[in-house]
Structure 1
């Protein structure tokens, strides 16, 4: 993978990722990175968000690693369930951070149209990072989503929703999970070679 020109596609969640969010920091730090820009961050429509993710993947033929947060993780799962093979082959892997359980009883109304969450395995390597005190998805639910999607799963202690509100501005330690995902992608590529 290191010999390829990989690009990083940042997939924010509901309300976007403000300038002090770790996803924005990563976009400024990672080479060849860009962001999926949704037309409506406040009242997301699943079909629109999925279509915009597809446009973003299709816009560049280089291999891509998705870096998703919250509702962005659910958007990735919906996209992967229906995307054309040609585009799915471009995705080397996905880092899925603090997925939002849009099926939970206290889910905000604007997010409910993303339910039900696809349960089939993702057709690319993935690593899901959750937290044991995330109000958007319990640790048990994050583990269940990881199992459904075929993701390696890590549950952090006391990390909240892994966003600005929970104190994750630059989230430098998150790069360790990205590197772990990239190592898994490289191992998979060697097995196929």
Structure 2
């Protein structure tokens, strides 16, 4: 059911996956989703180890440039921060953001880059109560600042392979519902 719903969305929106540092390994939910939905785009980087927010933004822009439809950015961790920074600073046809386990901006000295201000596009944050890269309290703070709807995924770690997130149907269901609401 979710697959059919998402394939219909492909007709009017472009999904761009934005992994965090070190990319997403082959068992990570972003990689699983990309295999399942090969029309979705995924940013490419020369250096996945350097937390260069401008490099991430350039990679998003490259993928967006080849899109025929407004984009939904699906960012994980540092990739979520890059997606936020992009919509805070640039005018592109971004229909919405799905921010999964965003990292605390201060961990990367991005307090002056990723701002605590309302995003100019609809957004959803899927967050964990025990994420090592952002406390739940801070996630609530950022969701309120950004105007994002917060979805509490419970004790889910960093919502990555190490925390047991592979295919992650629940995440796909949330993405489908979000896209249908736009």
Question: What TM-score, normalized to structure 2?
Answer: 0.88
Question: How far has the Cα of 1:25 moved from its partner?
Answer: 0.7
- Pick from 9, 30, 33: which aligns with 2:16? 9
Residue in 2 that maps onto 1:137: 134
- When the two structures are aligned, how many residues end up with a matched partner? 174
Task: Choose the corresponding residue for 1:102, options 95, 100, 105.
Answer: 105
C-alpha distance in 1 between matches for 2:72 and 2:52 = 23
Q: Which residue matches 1:166?
A: 163
Instruction: Structure 2: state its 5+ residue gaps.
Output: 1-7
CA contact (8 A) 2:51 2:78 kept: no
1:115 Cα offset (Å): 3.4
Q: Distance in 2 between matches of 1:143 and 1:172?
A: 24
Shift of 1:30: 2.7
- Equivalent residue runs for 1:1-193 within 5 Å: 2=9, 4-30=11-37, 32-84=39-91, 87=92, 90-103=93-106, 107=107, 111-112=108-109, 114-116=110-112, 117-185=114-182
TM-superposed deviation, 1:40: 0.9
- Root mean square deviation of aligned Cα: 1.7
- Judge conservation of contact 2:87–2:94 (CA < 8 Å) in 1: no
Deviates more, 1:91-100 or 1:41-50: 41-50
SS in 2 for 1:148: helix
